[in-house]
Structure 1
């Protein structure tokens, strides 16, 4: 079998197992990527979730010494849900981004890659392969770009001609020597909508992201949310879709080719107050299958509290007061203090005064005082 024939067989099998797009690239070092990563490091734009060793991120042969080819795959996910629940006063809801709908994509793509690897090994038993999804050393985006899956958009996502940027990416390094595909020319042109629409100006310029300002990153942190970004979080519990929603290439894109990514509306757009009352077991049972659960319960609950503050949801005062008075986690108590200040009623002010009498943590006392100052200033302004 020639390498061309082998490539065709792999492409055909990939369709049979539900891979929406596949591409092939050389395993040469990603030299221009290294320059960009070093610049990101110099500017301190990294999220901290990345592989620390830049050489591993740009040199496939450091991961598989005899590497010759990288096979890139993409699976499309939906942008719209059926029977989306209403968000109304007294029943406020949060939102998980589209990339966290359905089953955790890491598991789904890893399953597809394992099947693909087994097939390759059945054809060429002496081949060696190494697969990864998102958490691996290589840059999924750089691999997909080289393999012709799509172009790298100004929103720092791969944009495919068929599915827009609503795709998950994975790759397999292999010792097989397969004909590479041609990269797709950049199609963004002068469009700058994603950069202009970013709520926190995290897209510094087309294709460069300051991760520390990105809402998708901020929703995954475990510390206090910086005050300057709490309003911009809105009702987001995990991730952010803004730069994808405004992209013209995503207009009308809503792909339902993979059943695993179909969302449960009440899980991905959940009521906020019940989230604050979940036990660890209940959180794992309800949200464990989502990609957005990987950081645990606390960040999701903190974001839910911020969302209730942004909604000025008065029905949440009782549960927020209980968290402020009794929750052992400082981040949750401090976030509850902020939210009560934003709700800005006499009852929320009384809750803050009550907590101030017993709170010992200086950071939380500061949050309480700032919340009370906000209420006072709002009352003064109203007069």
Structure 2
């Protein structure tokens, strides 16, 4: 087998199936990444969503027998929406981050990787492959960096020269010994715009993030949000793009190569009030195909409540009162109580006084009392 020739064929084939960038890396342990992950763990900066076993995240041989190389891929996604709907008083809108526009990127990446696997197995007898996305064991950014896809920016995103950081990443471990590509040099220089713009200070230093303070993480949690974060989230219902939109390397980067990644305006920038009334089935029908739906409707509804409070949207008061009195979930009742206080008005205050006397959940009751405290400030 002429592996050098095969590599050329793989690169050509990858373009025909819509892979925007491809790179090859050695399967050696990611020792530098290991030290960074250990430090993250020591500092308590991990989100809890990642693979728990650090060794598996950095040692390909632990998850694949006798690995010979790793193929990394990147798909460019849009950064701008055509004809985005505008929110207005009485019709406020939330926003999903760009990585949750269009079809769930995990599905798109898996389809591309499956086609790549089939191609290799057709070309090479005995070829073995294991593909994954960011839900897999390996640290995908470390693989992409080693494979020359891009460099790891200060915002902890892979930044490519061609597409900026607006790329989805996937990788495939294989027993075919492809020649590795050369990693790119860091091109961030002295720029620290991403660190300065982060709403919650989650980017503690260049290349280090306290995931528990990151709005992308916070919008995916299911519990009560701390007050300092509620006031920072704004109208984000899922994810955050601040450290990407500020990046000079992303200026002018907007690619519409993949129809399945195109945002549906009413899904990517949804009306907030209707979200509060969705049943589980309705939520799945409306949002089930996007990446931001993976945690279910509860976080999205809680975030929508926070967004309505951010706008001080008076038209939402009746719906928030309904949630305060009737919703079975303490997080939703409590957040609605806090939001009613933030919005204000006699109707909201009256509902909070009633709720204060009947709420039995201690955390929800605390949020209701916070809502009432807003009236004392006036």
Could you state the TM-score of these two structures normalised by the residue count of structure 1? 0.98
- Once the two structures are TM-superposed, the CA of residue 301 in structure 1 deviates from its matched residue by 0.1
Matches within 5 A, 1:284-363: 284-363=284-363
2:105 aligned partner: 105
Find the aligned partners of 1:214 and 1:334 in 2 and give their Cα distance. Answer: 22
Matches within 5 A, 1:221-232: 221-232=221-232
Does residue 40 of structure 2 align to residue 40 of structure 1? yes
- Once the two structures are TM-superposed, the CA of residue 333 in structure 1 deviates from its matched residue by 0.2
2:27 aligned partner: 27
Matches within 5 A, 1:173-192: 173-192=173-192
1:157 aligned partner: 157
- Once the two structures are TM-superposed, the CA of residue 230 in structure 1 deviates from its matched residue by 0.4
Tell me how many residue pairs correspond in the alignment: 378
2:169 aligned partner: 169
- Once the two structures are TM-superposed, the CA of residue 362 in structure 1 deviates from its matched residue by 2.0
- Once the two structures are TM-superposed, the CA of residue 298 in structure 1 deviates from its matched residue by 0.2
Q: Per the alignment, in what secondary structure is the counterpart of residue 135 of structure 2?
A: coil
2:8 aligned partner: 8
1:60 aligned partner: 60
2:271 aligned partner: 271
- Once the two structures are TM-superposed, the CA of residue 357 in structure 1 deviates from its matched residue by 2.7
Find the aligned partners of 1:265 and 1:284 in 2 and give their Cα distance. Answer: 17
After superposing on structure 2, the runs of 4+ consecutive aligned residues of structure 1 that deviate more than 2 Å are none
Residues 19-55 of structure 1: per-residue CA shift (max 9 Å, x gap): 0000000000101111111000000100001111111
- Once the two structures are TM-superposed, the CA of residue 369 in structure 1 deviates from its matched residue by 1.4
Residues 156-205 of structure 1: per-residue CA shift (max 9 Å, x gap): 00000000000000000000001111000000000000000000000000
1:369 aligned partner: 369
Question: Mind listing any 5+ residue stretches in structure 1 that lack a counterpart?
Answer: none
Find the aligned partners of 1:279 and 1:82 in 2 and give their Cα distance. Answer: 29
Find the aligned partners of 1:362 and 1:325 in 2 and give their Cα distance. Answer: 15
Q: Per the alignment, in what secondary structure is the counterpart of residue 357 of structure 1?
A: helix
Find the aligned partners of 2:365 and 2:59 in 1 and give their Cα distance. Answer: 49
Residues 320-354 of structure 1: per-residue CA shift (max 9 Å, x gap): 00000000000000000010011011221112112
Find the aligned partners of 2:34 and 2:285 in 1 and give their Cα distance. Answer: 41
Q: Per the alignment, in what secondary structure is the counterpart of residue 130 of structure 1?
A: strand
- Once the two structures are TM-superposed, the CA of residue 374 in structure 1 deviates from its matched residue by 1.5
Find the aligned partners of 1:100 and 1:233 in 2 and give their Cα distance. Answer: 17
Find the aligned partners of 2:362 and 2:2 in 1 and give their Cα distance. Answer: 70
Q: Per the alignment, in what secondary structure is the counterpart of residue 358 of structure 2?
A: coil
Find the aligned partners of 1:56 and 1:366 in 2 and give their Cα distance. Answer: 41
Could you state the TM-score of these two structures normalised by the residue count of structure 2? 0.99
- Once the two structures are TM-superposed, the CA of residue 226 in structure 1 deviates from its matched residue by 1.1
Matches within 5 A, 1:210-225: 210-225=210-225
- Once the two structures are TM-superposed, the CA of residue 108 in structure 1 deviates from its matched residue by 0.3
Find the aligned partners of 1:362 and 1:34 in 2 and give their Cα distance. Answer: 41
Find the aligned partners of 1:227 and 1:3 in 2 and give their Cα distance. Answer: 57
Find the aligned partners of 1:363 and 1:345 in 2 and give their Cα distance. Answer: 23
